[in-house]
A and B are shown apart, each in its own frame.
Chain A
Amino acid sequence: QSAPTQPASVSGSPGQSITISCTGTISDVGGYKYVFWYQHHPGKAPKLIIYDVSDRPSGISNRFSGSKSGNTASLTISGLQAEDEADYYCGSYTNSSTVIFGERTTLTVL
């Protein structure tokens, strides 16, 4: 099973909004509501920022939002801040009862 596809990098200026896409298949992203997003600052543990496509865990800023259409999920970060600079991973439950992460997207805040 191939990892969902994400852009290798995205960038934006402080205050702007960016969107990271995550394209999978009907066997993963497109087939289930169990799509999630993680933020990973190098040297630290990953942090869950979106689960079940669009829900935010307690304590996560509402600047982070998620959505899905067909086989593609999206993470939007609005009002970019310097601390948002990190790696981002989507992920999904799969029809093999496993979990799969997407390819890494590195966000640069200009």
Chain B
Amino acid sequence: EVQLVQSGAEVKKPGESLRISCRGSGYSFSNYWISWVRQMPGKGLEWMGRIAPSDSYTNYSPSFQGHVTMSADQSISTAYLQWTSLKASDTAMYYCARLGSIGVYGMDVWGQGTTVTVSS
């Protein structure tokens, strides 16, 4: 079964760092982009960017460029989303999704989501 499994919920304080993960299985992880999508409480979906696990090439949405870092380790079929200094406004659900398997930009397989809560 093709799936993406994300790391568990996180509760952090402002200023702390965080890395969440997304592990793929059931397919050749390095062959497809991984996108990250944010959903803030009560709000819509926002595309944050994508990473090519094969060479770690990244492409960020201007809204997120410089605020987060995407990385990947194809040897363990895992992508990461990282913050160096969290803010309360980073509180959200974060999804990873496979991009490029259906159509060029369709995201056909999604992780279950990781809830990040940033509060003092």
Interface residues of A (CB under 8 A from B): 1, 3, 34, 36, 38, 40, 45-48, 51-52, 55, 57, 87, 89, 91, 93, 96-104
User: Looking at B35, B60, B104, which has the most chain A CB atoms within 10 Å of its CB?
Assistant: B104
State whether B62 touches A1 (Cβ < 8 A): yes
State whether A101 touches B107 (Cβ < 8 A): no
State whether B62 touches A40 (Cβ < 8 A): no
With a cutoff of 8 Å between Cβ atoms, the chain A residues found around residue B37 in the complex are: 46, 101
A98/B47 contact (C-beta < 8 A), A46-B95, A51-B103 known: yes
State whether B59 touches A98 (Cβ < 8 A): yes
With a cutoff of 8 Å between Cβ atoms, the chain A residues found around residue B50 in the complex are: 99
State whether B44 touches A93 (Cβ < 8 A): no
State whether A99 touches B105 (Cβ < 8 A): yes
Binary A-proximity of B88-100 (CB < 8 A = 1, otherwise 0): 0000000101010
With a cutoff of 8 Å between Cβ atoms, the chain B residues found around residue A55 in the complex are: 103
Across chains A and B, the number of contacting residue pairs, with CB separation under 8 Å, is 72
State whether B103 touches A96 (Cβ < 8 A): no
29 residue pairs from A and B, CB less than 8 Å apart:
A34-B105, A36-B106, A36-B107, A38-B45, A40-B45, A46-B45, A46-B107, A46-B110, A47-B110, A48-B106, A48-B107, A48-B108, A52-B103, A52-B104, A55-B103, A57-B102, A57-B108, A91-B47, A91-B105, A96-B62, A98-B47, A98-B49, A98-B59, A98-B60, A99-B50, A99-B105, A101-B44, A101-B46, A104-B43
With a cutoff of 8 Å between Cβ atoms, the chain A residues found around residue B61 in the complex are: 98-100
Q: How far is the CA of A104 from the CA of B37 in the complex (A)?
A: 14
Binary A-proximity of B35-70 (CB < 8 A = 1, otherwise 0): 101000001111101100000000111100000000
Q: How far is the CA of A52 from the CA of B44 in the complex (A)?
A: 21
Q: How far is the CA of A52 from the CA of B106 in the complex (A)?
A: 8
Q: How far is the CA of A1 from the CA of B61 in the complex (A)?
A: 10
State whether A36 touches B44 (Cβ < 8 A): no
Q: How far is the CA of A34 from the CA of B95 in the complex (A)?
A: 21
